């Protein structure tokens, strides 16, 4: 049963939250990062990019220590404040397309992660796990929640609905036209009801944040070994999460772009595809797949539809039914010679929010020879793969909502 606890967040004062909040560090170009830090002294980017102050790229342990210093300075300058008592936080995002996401920010258990109460659908890289664990150990906080999803629950939905009827603690709109809201849940009755409701949920699923979850678990084990008075309730036994109901989760596909045809002519390539797919030339008109196991392909100014020949391809488990896996097993690996989807420089990915037109544009400009459009996976597919203990290929899903960093911070 899921252990989902309230916690005493460190968070920006109400007047500065819109200035502090930032996207994840990796989502900015270096020019965008510098521009924001040039004109906004309150941006959370100053904390996670401490070398900016010294006009120098800093990495490793030196960077981690400076991140810690910048964070403490934000606290000393009262840009951040800390909650007096443990709370849950209802967090709502309404994006520019008027899609709404609403859930609860809370502390999830590293033990639940280890015991598969919190289930995974992606592999993690050991080097990244260890690196981020050392980062967390030095800085002592986490500012970007892991995105978890749970089966829709009437009790939790009722409390959320009642909470959002009051004035929000935070309400601000970002430059990309997403509006963010945050409410505190601090009365003990509601806190107990939420905790009880989650304790009745057998399984929750990681939607986004597999490496952060894994690193938090490794950190908890390190700190446990060095604490002779460990009792399991220490803050390091939990990690900050944003839990949203499955009905609120939005999954987009990741389309594939490949730089060459692995030495094949276009005609030879199409003949090899014919073993696995029924192929139709759709001409220059943009074509998008409309259901699972159908793909679009763009090459030499023309779109093609690829319909999987189910008499040839065998569905043996949930992973084998995933379109990203089908494309890998039938095209990318055997025909185009792409073995490792993480490291091969001949393949690139474009998430579905960019649209199939982005794939067309990247092929037209000569950077890539062929592009493939996929149909997005469903929540049910993701859950089934996790339930069977399987792992998706890299870049199988692009999941929203994407959260801002620095709005709530979890210390351990």
Rounded CA-CA distance 332/25 in Å is 31
pLDDT of residue 207: 97
Query: Helix, strand or coil for residue 11?
Result: strand
pLDDT tens per residue, range 140-165: 999 999 999 999 999 999 999 999 99
Count, residues in the chain:
412
Residue 176 has pLDDT above 90, yes or no: no
The CA dihedral of 207, 209, 211, 215, to the nearest 10 degrees, is -120
pLDDT of residue 55: 87
pTM: 0.93
**DSSP code of residue 409:** B
pLDDT tens per residue, range 193-248: 999 999 999 999 999 999 999 999 999 999 999 999 999 999 999 999 999 999 99
Residue 256 has pLDDT above 90, yes or no: yes
Yes or no: say if 230 and 326 are a contact pair by the CB < 8 Å rule.
Answer: no
Rounded CA-CA distance 397/322 in Å is 11
pLDDT of residue 63: 96
Structure tokens given for 257 = 């772009």
Kind of pairing, strands 179-185 and 170-173?
A: antiparallel
Yes or no: say if 150 and 198 are a contact pair by the CB < 8 Å rule.
Answer: yes
Alpha-carbon distance values, 20 to 16, 43, 74 (Å): 6, 4, 10
pLDDT tens per residue, range 368-386: 999 999 999 999 999 999 9
Residue 9 has pLDDT above 90, yes or no: yes
Query: Helix, strand or coil for residue 232?
Result: coil
Burial 187-217 (b: 16+ CB within 10 A, else e): eeebbebbbebbeebebbbbbbbbbbbbbbb
Average pLDDT over residues 63-83: 97
Rounded CA-CA distance 394/324 in Å is 9
Per-residue pLDDT band at 30 (split at 50, 70, 90): confident
Percentage of the chain exceeding pLDDT 90: 93
**Domains annotated on the chain, with CATH:** 4-250+400-411 (no CATH), 254-396 (3.30.1760)
What residues contact residue 231 under an 8 Å CB cut-off, 6+ apart? none
- Specify which residues 146 forms β-bridges with: 241
Regarding predicted confidence, which is higher, 10 or 53?
10
Residue 1 has pLDDT above 90, yes or no: no
Tell me the Ramachandran region of residue 262: left when phi exceeds 0, alpha when psi lies from -120 to 50, beta otherwise.
Answer: left
Sequence-ordered alpha helix ranges (H) in 21-59: 30-39, 45-48
pLDDT of residue 20: 98
Yes or no: say if 161 and 220 are a contact pair by the CB < 8 Å rule.
Answer: no
What residues contact residue 394 under an 8 Å CB cut-off, 6+ apart? 122, 341, 342
Among residues 219, 247, 251, 242, the alpha carbon closest in space to that of 404 is found at 242
Rounded CA-CA distance 234/224 in Å is 9
């Amino acid at each position: 049963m899921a252990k989902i606890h309230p916690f005493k967040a460190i968070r920006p004062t109400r007047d500065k939250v819109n200035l502090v909040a930032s996207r994840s560090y990796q989502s900015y170009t270096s020019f965008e990062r510098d521009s924001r830090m040039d004109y906004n002294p309150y941006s959370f980017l100053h904390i996670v990019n401490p070398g900016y102050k010294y006009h120098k790229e800093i990495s490793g342990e030196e960077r981690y220590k400076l991140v810690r210093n910048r964070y403490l300075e934000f606290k000393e300058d009262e840009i951040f404040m800390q909650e007096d008592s443990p709370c849950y936080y209802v967090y709502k995002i309404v994006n520019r397309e008027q899609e709404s996401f609403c859930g609860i920010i809370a502390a999830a258990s590293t033990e639940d992660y280890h015991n598969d109460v919190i289930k995974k659908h992606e592999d993690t890289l050991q080097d990244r796990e260890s690196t981020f664990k050392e980062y967390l150990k030095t800085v002592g906080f986490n500012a970007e929640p892991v995105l978890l999803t749970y089966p829709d629950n009437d009790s939790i939905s009722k409390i959320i609905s009642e909470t959002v009827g009051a004035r929000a603690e935070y309400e601000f709109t970002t430059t990309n036209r997403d509006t963010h809201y945050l409410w505190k849940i601090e009365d003990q009755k509601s806190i107990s009801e939420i905790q009880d409701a989650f304790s009745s949920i057998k399984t929750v699923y990681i939607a986004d944040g597999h490496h952060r979850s894994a690193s938090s678990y490794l950190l908890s084990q390190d700190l446990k070994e060095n604490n002779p008075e460990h009792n399991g309730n220490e803050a390091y036994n939990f990690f900050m999460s944003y839990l949203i109901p499955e009905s609120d989760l939005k999954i987009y596909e990741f389309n594939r772009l490949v730089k060459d045809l692995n030495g094949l002519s276009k005609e030879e390539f199409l003949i090899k595809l014919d073993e696995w797919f029924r192929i139709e030339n759709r001409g220059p008109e943009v074509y998008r797949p409309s259901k699972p196991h159908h793909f679009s392909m763009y090459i030499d100014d023309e779109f093609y539809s690829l319909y999987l020949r189910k008499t040839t391809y065998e569905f043996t488990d949930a992973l084998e039914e995933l379109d990203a896996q089908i494309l890998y097993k039938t095209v990318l690996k055997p025909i185009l010679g792409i073995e490792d989807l993480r490291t091969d420089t001949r393949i690139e990915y474009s998430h579905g929010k960019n649209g199939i037109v982005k794939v067309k544009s990247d092929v037209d400009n000569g950077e890539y020879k062929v592009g493939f459009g996929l149909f997005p996976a469903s929540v049910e597919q993701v859950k089934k793969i996790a339930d069977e203990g399987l792992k998706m290929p890299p870049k199988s899903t692009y999941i929203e909502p994407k959260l801002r960093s620095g709005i709530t911070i979890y210390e351990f």
